[in-house]
Structures are given as structure tokens and as C-alpha cells.
A and B are shown apart, each in its own frame.
Chain A
């Protein structure tokens, strides 16, 4: 793709984001404006903002990439991310709003009347947020590299800087405006190019995906390897290489790749003849198109992985800190429910589309299976299928959408983490918020640059698993079960956090081992969530004396409609 157009797209979105953010500046002066936009946000704007914040790089790029690589099983990911909102609506939306808490630690303290639980919740919020930010920065690096060839760390740094500026200057209020704009921008950026891509596909004879062979290069294709990768070649193939292969340099020299493992270094370009089979990255499954289109034929242990994914995404949404924070901008419980349904509709509308990119990618950009950067499929398709200026413009549009994706999610997460850090770990107030913002960004940025590259949707899925194993039990049991006790909550949070956290660390740092143990570690929700629930329930049963004293009043607060004039207790969250 033409670097100039792509860069223009990036810059346009960045500038627009900062401008819109700065416009909100004159209104945010007091601390409360900084935290929760003073509750003067209209429902549609609120719903658009929530949707905009929720649709991260994982939704914009990651889904298409995973579908390209693994097929129909990955359809569960967007289904889960939407369904999670439905579960949130049904189980906790109105009661959470009625609790009056601004953040998850606030709710933990209010419901359980314990600072210990609050502190554990704060730590978990920070960890989950960092885990969610890490892939956003890595994705930004991927985008910038695909578009401009810049080194991978520049993307992350760019996003961090823009987010820091936006959040420091405006706090939550400006972020609301930014998010609302960005949902609609993202939807447009995703669907407009898709229309042209589908037309081009039709024009091409509408080829299907039913062949019984693994993917092949349709034409003579030059693959530019961005980062070092090891691939498996299945049949001997004559290629032309410019770069370093298996430790030896070649300058535009022909080479025969024999079946087996080969290592390509950075900035190597390999030209394959038409009809050659596409080598896959070592470790990723090689499937025929026919099997790719069928569910439960992709990864190993796919039934377990599918169920675990479903559990993580459906139950994890309610435990994501940036989801809950924006929730509290509703005026009352009734409005909270209605806004959530609106969000559900907006998300559902968006998620109809990424899968189509994955399918088209399988047809037209199979070389991404070899570079290990399947996430780039959304960016590369317009240039590939639609030549000329049109393709460049559409590519720029879609790049802009991807940038919008990480900017919006990163902003939302940063605000919620900074809020928690400022309130519970630093002293509270506007200055702490600013220090906390920097802290919230620097750590995941450092991790993103240091860690190996992972599929963005996979890491986000891990964040969901941690949220599902910790905050989901706390919220569900806290809202509906009177007999939840402080030791029970602590035990459940710590257990869920440790189990899921360990699985996450192993998967990210070392890569999961092979076999069923590997599947259990890369998709831990199926066992960590039930264990966390069980621990929370059993320990609560064993410590009946530690039920919080004000639980009856709390139940009134959480469940009675606002129209009734009852005493709802005097608890207020710490900040104004």
C-alpha cells in the first residue's frame, strides 16, 4: 500500500482525536468532571461512546486475522464480546448503576464494607487494564509498520502519547466526545471499503472457499517478511529470495526450499511462483479451505477451546474496568438498562463485518499465513484487491479506523485505570490523576515493546478470562446473594486472579505447551471461572459471621426502583 496515503490516514485520525478532545477542555476543571463527565451525556451519545470504547484493535483487526488463520471457530469471539453485554445487562446493569459506585473497587467496598476487598479489586483492575492495553500498543506497532515501514515500537509510543495528551487535558468528558465520534468513524471505516472489496470479489467471479487443498498463491507473489519468522514448507518450491534465509544471505537469488522448517529474518522478501503452497508459520494449523470453513476443525482441542472462549467472553465483559466506568454516566438504573441495550445493537451491527475480511483474506492475501501477521489482513486487502488511487484511499480509510480503534480503547482504559490508581494508591485529586495516567501507560508500553508479538485478539481474550475469573463472581454474587462474606469475596478474587493470572503469564511469556495442557493454559476460563465461583461460595458458607452488616440496606439500594422513597443508606464513593 502507498505509504503516503496510509500515513495521511493515521495523522488525520490522530489530529481529529486530539482536537475533539481539546474542545472539551474548557468544561473539565473540577475533579468530578475529570472522572465521570458529570452525568450530562445523552443516551445515544453514551451508547456510542461505550461502543466506541469497547471496539478495540482486537475487534477491528484481530477478529479478521484470527478467522483468516483459524476459520469458523473464531466467529465465537465477536459473538462472545456482544453476548457479554447481554449477560451484563441481565445480571448486573441496573443494580450496579444503583449502587452509586464509580469503579469496581468502589462497588467492592460498598457491598462488602471492607477495605481489604477494595484493595484487591484495585490491584486486579490495574492488572486487567494493563493486559488489555498491551495488545493495543502492539497492534499500533503492527499498523504503523504495515503502513509506513516504521519500526514496531513507534506505533505504541504514538498511541501512548496521544492518549496521554487527551486524558491529561480533558479527563473523562473529552474522552466521551471522542469515543462517540469514534464508534461511527470505525463503523464507516470498516464497512465502506468492504462494499468495494465485495464488488471486486464479485467482479473476480466470486470464487468460493471449498477447495480440498491447503491455500496456494494464486499469482506469482512477493512476500515481505516484516519480523523474523519460522515456517514449515510442505513441498519443494523454487523461490527468489532477497534477504536472509536459514542464516545465509541471498541477493535476489533463486533458491529451492525443501520440505521442513525454514527461518526468515527481518526485511526479507521471498517471491513464490503461482500455484505454490503457502508455507504456514510453525505451530499454526494447516487446513484445507473446506475444513477451514467448518467449525471445530481448526485448533487442537477445539471443543474445549470454544467453550472456554465462550465462558471467558460472555462472563468477562462485566468485569472489564473501562466498561463499568462509562456505565455510571447514566442517570438511573432504568436508563442504564436501556443504554446497555442500545450498546448491544451498536455492537451487533459492527460485528457483522470483520469476519468478511477474514474470508476475503483467505482468498486474496494468503501470504499473511506465512508472515505470522494475520492481523494485518484488514489493512492489506484494499490495496490488494482494488488497485490504484481508490485502493490507496480505502486503505487509508481502514487504517484510520484501526488507529481510531486503539486510541479510543486505550483512552477509555487509561481513564479507568488512572482513576483507580489515583484514588486507591495515590492521594486522589487532579494531580494524582495525572501522575496515575502516566503510570497507567508506561508499564504496558514497556511490556508491549519487550514481549514477543502475539495475536491481539488472543491477548484481549486472556484479559477477558481474568475478568471473568475475578470480577464476574464478585459482581454476580454481590448483587444477588445476601450471604456473600468478606473472606469469601477475598478468597474468590485471589484464587481466580492467581489461577487466571498464571495461565496468562505462561501463555504470554513462553507460549503454551503442546497438548491439552496447552489448550487449558491458553484458554483458562473453563476451569478458572467455576473454581473462582466455588471458592467464593464455599468460603462464604463457612464464614457466616462475616456477612457485612448493612447487606439488607444494600439490597434495597441495588434493587428498588428509584421511584420509591426508601432509605438507601449513606454510602457515597470517595470522590465528589
Chain B
């Protein structure tokens, strides 16, 4: 006996797995690819901008604010402390942060593709938003 709830929207799943859409370069496949590339590019640009602001800003700071140039930290001039010491751990920190973010983006993309590629269920009861069960699990 089929019980239907109120008509709610089911998730429209693509007819083919997304990987096939990508392979055949359909509109949907292209959309997925563009979104991946855009996400990664945004991450890259964000980090490069931060890098640019700091790296381009320091000479400007030194040029325009003499007090900064002459400031001393434990007897060592501040420019030497920054450029000769602190900037290196900062680079490494930025690098690790970037790797984590980029890997997370890729994992998200892979999950998105896998999710969208899972085989269709015939279940059309109201809870259409539930993520698709992994194949094989619901077969009692």
C-alpha cells in the first residue's frame, strides 16, 4: 500500500552520473567543472592578495613611516626582525593553511559528484531532500 504525503518536490537527479556528464562535456558537466575551478581560483587569489598586501605593503611602510624603520626589538632593527626572521614561519603557516583549504575543496567536490551520481531511488514520499542512500543499503 502506497502512502503518499503532501506533494513536495523531490530532488531532481541527473539522468547520468556526473562523471559521465563531465566526460561528455555537457552543460551540467561544464557547470560542475567551472564551479570547481572557480572555487579553487578564489582560494588561490585570496591567499595571493594577502601575500601581496603584506609583501608590497612592507617596503611602502618602510618608505613612508621612518619610525618603523628605526624601531628596535631587543636591539635588532624591526625590518631585520620581520624580513630576516618572522616572515618565514608566516609563509609556512600560509602554505599549510592553503593545503588544508584546497584539499577540503577537492573533497567537497568529490563528495558532491558522488552524491549526485548515486543511482535514483523510486521513493517519492515527501522527504525528497534526504540525501540519497548509498547503493545497496536500502535493499532489505
Partners in one complex: yes
Q: Interface on A for B, CB 8 Å cutoff? A: 72, 75-76, 79, 82-83, 85-87, 89-91, 94, 208, 293-296, 303, 306-307, 310, 314, 334, 337-338, 340-341, 344-345, 348-349, 351-352, 355, 480, 552-553, 555-556, 559-561, 563-567
**What chain A residues lie within 8 Å of B63 (beta carbons)?**
296, 303
User: Which of A303, A307, A340, A559 interacts with B36 by CB under 8 Å?
Assistant: A559
A332 to chain B, nearest CB (A): 11
Query: Contact at A75–B83, with CB atoms within 8 Å?
Result: yes
Given contacts A90-B44, A294-B62, A341-B92, 10 further A-B contacts (CB under 8 A): A75-B80, A83-B51, A86-B51, A86-B94, A86-B95, A314-B55, A552-B25, A560-B109, A561-B109, A566-B23
Q: Closest residue to B60 on the A side, CB-wise?
A: A303
Expressed in whole angstroms, the Cα–Cα distance for A348 and B84 within the complex equals: 10
Query: Contact at B44–A79, with CB atoms within 8 Å?
Result: no
B54 to chain A, nearest CB (A): 10
**What chain B residues lie within 8 Å of A87 (beta carbons)?**
48, 51
Q: Is B14 an interface position by the 8 A CB rule?
A: no
Give residues of chain B (99-121) contacting chain A, Cβ–Cβ below 8 Å: 99, 102-103, 106-107, 109-110, 113
Q: Closest residue to A303 on the B side, CB-wise?
A: B63
User: Which of A72, A334, A561, A566 interacts with B80 by CB under 8 Å?
Assistant: A72
**What chain B residues lie within 8 Å of A296 (beta carbons)?**
59, 62-63, 69
User: Which of A294, A341, A345, A355 interacts with B84 by CB under 8 Å?
Assistant: A355
User: Which of A76, A294, A352, A565 interacts with B88 by CB under 8 Å?
Assistant: A352
Query: Contact at A306–B91, with CB atoms within 8 Å?
Result: no
Expressed in whole angstroms, the Cα–Cα distance for A142 and B87 within the complex equals: 31
Expressed in whole angstroms, the Cα–Cα distance for A38 and B63 within the complex equals: 50
Expressed in whole angstroms, the Cα–Cα distance for A208 and B33 within the complex equals: 58
Listed A/B pairs (17) with beta-carbon separation below 8 Å: A86-B95, A295-B59, A296-B62, A303-B59, A306-B59, A334-B103, A345-B95, A348-B88, A348-B89, A480-B44, A552-B25, A560-B109, A561-B109, A563-B110, A566-B22, A566-B23, A567-B23
Query: Contact at A345–B23, with CB atoms within 8 Å?
Result: no
**What chain A residues lie within 8 Å of B55 (beta carbons)?**
79, 83, 310, 314
Query: Contact at A559–B37, with CB atoms within 8 Å?
Result: yes
Query: Contact at A294–B83, with CB atoms within 8 Å?
Result: no
**What chain A residues lie within 8 Å of B84 (beta carbons)?**
75, 352, 355
Expressed in whole angstroms, the Cα–Cα distance for A293 and B19 within the complex equals: 59
Query: Contact at B56–A337, with CB atoms within 8 Å?
Result: no
Query: Contact at A341–B96, with CB atoms within 8 Å?
Result: yes
Expressed in whole angstroms, the Cα–Cα distance for A344 and B92 within the complex equals: 6
Q: Residue-by-residue, is B36-71 near A (CB-CB < 8 Å gives 1, otherwise 0)?
A: 110011001001100100011001001100000110
Q: Is B128 an interface position by the 8 A CB rule?
A: no
**What chain A residues lie within 8 Å of B109 (beta carbons)?**
560-561
Expressed in whole angstroms, the Cα–Cα distance for A432 and B55 within the complex equals: 44
Expressed in whole angstroms, the Cα–Cα distance for A566 and B55 within the complex equals: 39
B36 to chain A, nearest CB (A): 6
A65 to chain B, nearest CB (A): 16
**What chain A residues lie within 8 Å of B92 (beta carbons)?**
341, 344-345, 348
User: Which of B40, B88, B107, B113 interacts with A351 by CB under 8 Å?
Assistant: B88
**What chain A residues lie within 8 Å of B19 (beta carbons)?**
564-566
User: Which of B22, B30, B75 interacts with A208 by CB under 8 Å?
Assistant: B75
B33 to chain A, nearest CB (A): 6
Query: Contact at A561–B110, with CB atoms within 8 Å?
Result: yes
Expressed in whole angstroms, the Cα–Cα distance for A470 and B94 within the complex equals: 26
**What chain A residues lie within 8 Å of B83 (beta carbons)?**
72, 75-76, 79, 295
**What chain B residues lie within 8 Å of A349 (beta carbons)?**
88
Expressed in whole angstroms, the Cα–Cα distance for A565 and B114 within the complex equals: 10
Q: Is B77 an interface position by the 8 A CB rule?
A: yes
Query: Contact at B88–A82, with CB atoms within 8 Å?
Result: yes
Q: Closest residue to B46 on the A side, CB-wise?
A: A90
Q: Closest residue to A552 on the B side, CB-wise?
A: B25
B112 to chain A, nearest CB (A): 10
Expressed in whole angstroms, the Cα–Cα distance for A91 and B84 within the complex equals: 25
Q: Is B6 an interface position by the 8 A CB rule?
A: no
A248 to chain B, nearest CB (A): 44
Query: Contact at A89–B79, with CB atoms within 8 Å?
Result: no
Q: Closest residue to A94 on the B side, CB-wise?
A: B102
User: Which of B40, B95, B110 interacts with A344 by CB under 8 Å?
Assistant: B95
Q: Is B85 an interface position by the 8 A CB rule?
A: yes
**What chain B residues lie within 8 Å of A91 (beta carbons)?**
44, 48
Query: Contact at B91–A82, with CB atoms within 8 Å?
Result: yes
The 9 closest A-B pairs by CB, nearest first: A348-B88, A75-B83, A561-B106, A341-B95, A567-B23, A295-B62, A344-B95, A355-B84, A306-B59
**What chain B residues lie within 8 Å of A560 (beta carbons)?**
22, 33, 36, 109
- Known A-B contacts A295-B79, A296-B63, A559-B33; the reply to A310 vs B56 at CB < 8 A is yes
Query: Contact at A337–B37, with CB atoms within 8 Å?
Result: no
Expressed in whole angstroms, the Cα–Cα distance for A538 and B53 within the complex equals: 26
Expressed in whole angstroms, the Cα–Cα distance for A310 and B83 within the complex equals: 12
Expressed in whole angstroms, the Cα–Cα distance for A555 and B30 within the complex equals: 10
Query: Contact at A348–B59, with CB atoms within 8 Å?
Result: no
**What chain A residues lie within 8 Å of B98 (beta carbons)?**
89-90, 337
Q: Closest residue to B66 on the A side, CB-wise?
A: A294
Expressed in whole angstroms, the Cα–Cα distance for A87 and B107 within the complex equals: 22
**What chain B residues lie within 8 Å of A348 (beta carbons)?**
88-89, 91-92
Q: Closest residue to A92 on the B side, CB-wise?
A: B44
Query: Contact at A559–B40, with CB atoms within 8 Å?
Result: yes
**What chain A residues lie within 8 Å of B77 (beta carbons)?**
72, 293-294
Expressed in whole angstroms, the Cα–Cα distance for A294 and B96 within the complex equals: 32
Q: Closest residue to B21 on the A side, CB-wise?
A: A566
Q: Closest residue to B91 on the A side, CB-wise?
A: A86
**What chain A residues lie within 8 Å of B36 (beta carbons)?**
559-560
B1 to chain A, nearest CB (A): 40
A341 to chain B, nearest CB (A): 4
B46 to chain A, nearest CB (A): 9
**What chain B residues lie within 8 Å of A89 (beta carbons)?**
95, 98-99
Q: Closest residue to B99 on the A side, CB-wise?
A: A337
**What chain B residues lie within 8 Å of A86 (beta carbons)?**
51, 91, 94-95
Q: Closest residue to A74 on the B side, CB-wise?
A: B83
A572 to chain B, nearest CB (A): 18
B57 to chain A, nearest CB (A): 11
**What chain A residues lie within 8 Å of B33 (beta carbons)?**
552, 555-556, 559-560
Q: Closest residue to A348 on the B side, CB-wise?
A: B88
**What chain A residues lie within 8 Å of B88 (beta carbons)?**
79, 82, 348-349, 351-352
Expressed in whole angstroms, the Cα–Cα distance for A349 and B89 within the complex equals: 9
- Known A-B contacts A79-B87, A86-B91, A552-B30; the reply to A307 vs B22 at CB < 8 A is no
